[in-house]
């Protein structure tokens, strides 16, 4: 019994496996099986192109958005805002100072007005167009993405994050219309 050219095939260790009690066989088999699965996963990850973030976000129809009611696209970290009739902004969902996510708080009152984006870490307040009115970042705006409307469909270009324009700290905040 053997393989031509090999004096001792199969090796003595492999010949003894059937004689081992079942817990020992499982103890040997499970790590071998997990090693094979791990090797297969590594091979797949080396061969595949991997995940690529999409270049655009199809945000739906412009008719679906009310003035002053931002919508969060959580996977893309974007707040889509309609501050006025035909204007749309795609604001980056990160605070200027902290880098933490923002929350839209319709009932949050600041400067005797309601309806603000609030930084979840620092509490900084941003108006509907992303201009900061808190002391830490006063006069700066949230970063944003370009928004295009094609046949009533809103498309956000995710390839380029544009630094928010500087704003005048004496400007009146843009707040949502009363409900």
The rounded distance, in Å, linking the Cα atoms of 120 and 53 is: 25
* Each residue's pLDDT tens digit, 100-143: 899 998 888 888 888 899 988 888 889 898 888 888 777 788 89
The rounded distance, in Å, linking the Cα atoms of 44 and 37 is: 11
Cα distances (angstroms) measured from residue 150 to each of 1, 58, 59, 156, 176: 75, 10, 11, 11, 25
Reduced to 3 states, what is the DSSP secondary structure of residue 41? helix
- Residue 49 tokens read as 């192109």
Q: Which residues contact 69 (CB under 8 A, 6 or more apart)?
A: 82, 176
Q: Residue ranges per domain, the chain?
A: 1-52, 56-162
* Each residue's pLDDT tens digit, 54-98: 788 888 898 888 888 899 998 888 999 998 888 899 999 888 888
Q: Which residues contact 15 (CB under 8 A, 6 or more apart)?
A: none
The rounded distance, in Å, linking the Cα atoms of 116 and 114 is: 6
Residue 144's nearest CA partner among 166, 127, 164 is 164
Residue 124's nearest CA partner among 137, 108, 140 is 137
The model carries a pTM of: 0.67
* Each residue's pLDDT tens digit, 27-63: 777 888 899 999 988 888 888 777 677 788 888 898 8
Top CATH class, 56-162? mainly beta
């Amino acid at each position: 019994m053997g393989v031509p050219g090999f004096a001792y095939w199969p090796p003595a260790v492999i010949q003894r496996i059937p004689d081992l009690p079942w817990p020992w066989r499982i103890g040997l088999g499970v790590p071998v099986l997990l090693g094979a699965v791990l090797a297969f996963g590594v091979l797949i990850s080396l061969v595949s192109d991997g995940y690529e973030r999409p270049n655009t976000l199809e945000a739906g129809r412009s008719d679906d958005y009310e003035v002053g009611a931002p919508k969060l696209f959580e996977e893309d970290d974007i707040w889509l805002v309609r501050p006025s009739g035909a204007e749309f902004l795609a604001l980056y969902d990160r605070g200027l100072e902290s880098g933490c996510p923002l929350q839209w708080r319709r009932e949050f009152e600041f400067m005797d007005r309601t309806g603000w984006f609030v930084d979840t870490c620092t509490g900084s307040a941003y108006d509907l167009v992303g201009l900061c009115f808190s002391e830490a970042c006063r006069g700066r705006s949230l970063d944003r993405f370009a928004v295009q409307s094609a046949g009533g469909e809103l498309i956000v270009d995710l390839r380029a994050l544009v630094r928010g324009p500087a704003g005048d700290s004496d400007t009146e905040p843009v707040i949502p219309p009363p409900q």
